[in-house]
Amino acid sequence: MTAPWIAEHRIPDALAAQLIGDAFPALRPVRLELLGEGWDNVAYLVDGELIFRFPRRQAAVPLLEREHRLLPALAPRLPLAIPVPELFGRAGAGPYRWPFLGYRRVAGETACRANLDDRERRALAAPLARFLAALHAFPTGEARRLGMPPDSIGKLDLAARIPQARERLERMRALGLLRDVRPWSELLEAGAALRASEDLRVVHGDLYARHLLVSAGPARALCGVIDWGDLHLGDPAVDLSVAHSVLPPEAHDTFRATYGEIDARRWELARIRAIHHSAAVVLYGHDIGDSALVREGLRIFR
C-alpha cells in the first residue's frame, strides 16, 4: 500500500523557477531555495521574501484555492501573523498544470524545529489560546458567504479515526517507537462514544507544532500560524487538540482559562484527536527521516 504522503507530482527546483518566472515576469531571474515538503505541498523561498507553495497532489488543489480566497479575510481579525496570499499562479500547458500560491514570508521558526523545553511551551499557552479564541469567534455566516466549507473528511469521526489510531499505535510499537500501547488504546476506547458538535466554528483544521511559528532568540514567543489548507467549519476540538500535543499538562489550566469555556466533551474529543494525529506525525516523520517530527509527535505519548 502506498503511503498517503507520497507525492503524485514532483516539483523540482528548475520547474518551480520556470513556473514562477512565467507567471510573474517581474520576479525573473527567479532565485529560490527549497523550504520543505509536506503532505500536500512543496514550498520554495524566492528572493528571501516570498514563499511559493505548489500542490503535490490533486486533492491539495482546492485546499490551496481555499487559502487564497479566505486568508485575506481572516488575517486582520487574528492576534498572530498568518500568510496572506498575494500571488496566484495558474499554470498552463506543460508538465505541471495545477495552480500555485505566493505570499510574504511569515517570520519565525516552526515549533518542532525549535525543540522547545517545557518552560518555553508553558509560555505558549496563553497566546495560543487567545489566537484560537479569536479564530473560533470569526462569524460563521461571513465564513459561509466567503465559501468556507464544512469538514469533508471526518476529522472527528471517531468510528473511523479510532481504528486508524489503533493501527498506528501498533505500528509505532513494532518500530520500537512506543513501548506499551495499552494506556493509549484504553483512552481511545473510553472516548469512542464522543461525537463532534453541530455548533460549527471556523477552525484551522491541522494545528500542531509544525504549523506554529516561534520567534528567534531566548524569548521564543509564539509569532505566527501557517499552513491553512484544512481551514473549514467544524468543531473547535479539532484545533484544541494542539493543547494536548504541544503544551505540557501543567499549562492546560492557563490555556483553558485564557480561551474561555471548554466543556468536558470537547476537551476529551480534543485529546482523542491529538492521539490520532500525533501517531500519524510520528510515522510520517519516521518514514521521511525527519527526527524533529518524530520527537515532537512522541511528546504526547510520554
Domain borders along the chain are 13-104, 109-301
Cell digits of residue 191: 472516548
Q: Tell me which CATH homologous superfamily contains domain 13-104.
A: Phosphorylase Kinase; domain 1 (3.30.200.20)
Q: Would you tell me which CATH number, out of the four given (2.30.40.10, 3.50.50.60, 1.10.10.10, 3.90.1200.10), belongs to the domain 109-301?
A: 3.90.1200.10
Judge if 13-104 and 109-301 fold alike in CATH terms.
no
The whole-number pLDDT of residue 7 equals 64
Q: In what order do the strands lie in the sheet with 109-110?
A: 109-110, 212-214, 222-225
Number of other residues whose CB lies within 10 A of the CB of residue 152: 9
Q: What single string gives the DSSP state of each residue in 197-209? A: -SS-EEE-S--SG
pLDDT tens column, 43-100: 999 999 999 999 998 888 999 999 999 999 999 999 999 999 999 998 766 778 899 9
At residue 96, the pLDDT reads 85
- Kindly indicate the confidence band of residue 8, based on its pLDDT and cuts at 50, 70 and 90: confident
The per-residue pLDDT of the chain, averaged, comes to 94
Segment 99-120 mean pLDDT = 95
Cα separation, 89 vs 23, whole angstroms: 6
